[in-house]
Structure 1
Amino acid sequence: MKSKASIKSHPMHPMLVAFPIAFFTGALLFDVLAVLRESDAFWQTGLYLEAAGVVAAILAAIPGAIDYFGTVPPRSSAKKRATSHALLNISMLVLFVIALILREDRAFMPFVIIGLELAGFILMGFAGWMGGTLVYRNQIGVDPRYAHAGKWKEVYLDGKEGPLIVAEENELKINQMKLVHLHGRRLVIGRTEEGYVAFADHCTHRGGSLAGGAMICGTVQCPWHGSQFDVKTGAVTAGPAKTAIAVYPLTASNGKIYLDSHVIHHSY
């Protein structure tokens, strides 16, 4: 799924997370050296690095939150993983903030602060592991465009009842798709050799976004685990998915493609 917080298709969250990782790691290392060498200079350096890490983590969290709410498919394994990723990062940040605050009170032993930083460092490692899984397995922030797929298309339509224009007759080329948000649901409008089709964006295996997959010869393939579905009937043509996806009828008139929003509203 293409990131909604990106610069020229480059997701911002992966670019920014390197800074808090570096700052927090440096803070822990300099604080350990400060204790071992009894160096106030190293301790002060750790303070500056920790403060910079807190600021950098907050900045990195902004595009991360945008992608969490706008990019990660709902009701999917990626959403659960992204939630754990976010909670781990929040917990990590809280630990480093507490350590930063405790520095002001000389009554606290340096080992208490280092202990908090070490715990935060461990949580940061687990959070990073999950973040990597979200990118490399769930392809969050990845735009897996295949040959002739065209640019990513995504639109939000209002929720009025009745026929809605979801595409122009020549808007998509054969085997191209676009993601449509309607009534809080996500569906895909695609064009096959036989005409336009509409189907649910939700893969019935683990909830992957079919709009981010590939559609060829009337079959759409989920980018996560390779499940394939017939875009006209919704039937599973290749596993691991076992349940068909929902499909919706479209009508063409005067060069426009229409979808009855009433069908979507009452299909869940």
Structure 2
Amino acid sequence: MRSKANIKSHPLHPILICFPLAFFIGSFVFDILFLFNQNPSFQNTAYHLNIAGVIGAVLAAVPGFVDFLYTVPPESSAKKRAAKHGLLNTGNLLLFIAIVLLKRNTALDYKILVAMEAIGVIILFIAGWLGGTLVYRNQIGVDPRYADAGKWNEEYVNTNDNFIRVAAANELKLNQMKLVHAGGKRIIIAHSEKGYAAFSDHCTHKGGSLAGGAMICGTVQCPWHGSQFNVHDGSVSAGPAKKGIETYNVEERDGAVFLHLKEIKK
């Protein structure tokens, strides 16, 4: 799923998250050095790295939250994983903000602050593991290419009509797909050898986005676990999915492709 917070298809969250990671870990390292030799320069460096980490974390959180709302597929295993990732990072941000404030209290045992930083670093690694899983397994933020290097195509249709125009007749190449948001639904318009098809962008196994998968010979494959579905009747071609996907009626006329939004094929 292509990130909604991006610059020329490059997602911003993974770019920005490296800064708080480096700053928070650096703060912990310099505080450890300070405990060993009591050099005030190490303590001062750790303090300012801590502040820089808080600022970097806030900046990274903005595109991350945008991706959570608009990129991660709804009602999917990735949505739950992304929620855990976000909650851990938010809690960690609050922890390091508290550390910054407590460092200004010279009466506090400094070893307690270092212990708090150690906990924060551990949380960083756990949250980072979840974030890596979201990218490398769930392909969140990945900008897919379709047949003949066709680019990711997505459109939001604001209408209450049942019969809506969703593509030009020559817009999609063979085996290329387009994700359409209409009527509160995520529907894929696909061009197969038999013509155009429309089906739900929701794998029935773990909720993966089929729009980011691959389609060939009228079969779409989920990019998460490999489930395959017939794009014309929604039946399961290969597991692990056991339930088929919803398909919709489409028709091509007057140089355009139209979708019957409320007419689900039986």
Into which bin does the TM-score normalised by the smaller protein fall? over 0.9
Q: Matches of 2:75 and 2:165 in 1, distance apart?
A: 27
- SS of the equivalent of 1:226 reads coil
Q: Matches of 1:149 and 1:231 in 2, distance apart?
A: 20
Q: Matches of 1:260 and 1:149 in 2, distance apart?
A: 28
Q: Deviations over 1:34-57 (max 9, x none)?
A: 121112111111010000000001
Q: Which residue number in structure 2 is paired with residue 9 of structure 1?
A: 9
Q: Matches of 2:216 and 2:181 in 1, distance apart?
A: 23
Q: Matches of 2:179 and 2:225 in 1, distance apart?
A: 20
Q: Which residue number in structure 1 is paired with residue 246 of structure 2?
A: 246
Q: Deviations over 1:162-195 (max 9, x none)?
A: 2111111111111111000112211100111111
Structure 1 contact 161–262 (Cα < 8 Å) conserved: no
Q: Which residue number in structure 2 is paired with residue 41 of structure 1?
A: 41
Q: Deviations over 1:202-241 (max 9, x none)?
A: 0001111000001111000001111100000100001111
Unaligned runs of 5+ in 1: none
Structure 1 contact 149–177 (Cα < 8 Å) conserved: no
Q: Give the residue type in structure 2 aligned to 1:207.
A: G
TM-score by length of 2: 0.96
Structure 2 contact 146–175 (Cα < 8 Å) conserved: no
Q: Matches of 1:195 and 1:149 in 2, distance apart?
A: 19
Q: Matches of 2:229 and 2:144 in 1, distance apart?
A: 18
Q: Which residue number in structure 2 is paired with residue 105 of structure 1?
A: 105
Structure 1 contact 204–245 (Cα < 8 Å) conserved: yes
Cα displacement (A) at 1:253: 2.2
Aligned-pair identity in percent equals: 55
- SS of the equivalent of 2:223 reads coil
Structure 1 contact 180–186 (Cα < 8 Å) conserved: yes
Structure 2 contact 13–64 (Cα < 8 Å) conserved: yes
Q: Give the residue type in structure 2 aligned to 1:180.
A: V
Q: Which residue number in structure 1 is paired with residue 64 of structure 2?
A: 64
Q: Which residue number in structure 1 is paired with residue 234 of structure 2?
A: 234
Unaligned runs of 5+ in 2: none
Aligned pairs, number: 265
Q: Which residue number in structure 2 is paired with residue 21 of structure 1?
A: 21
TM-score by length of 1: 0.95
Q: Which residue number in structure 2 is paired with residue 120 of structure 1?
A: 120
Cα displacement (A) at 1:149: 4.6
Residues 178-193 of structure 1 aligned to structure 2 (within 5 Å): 178-193=178-193
Q: Which residue number in structure 1 is paired with residue 30 of structure 2?
A: 30
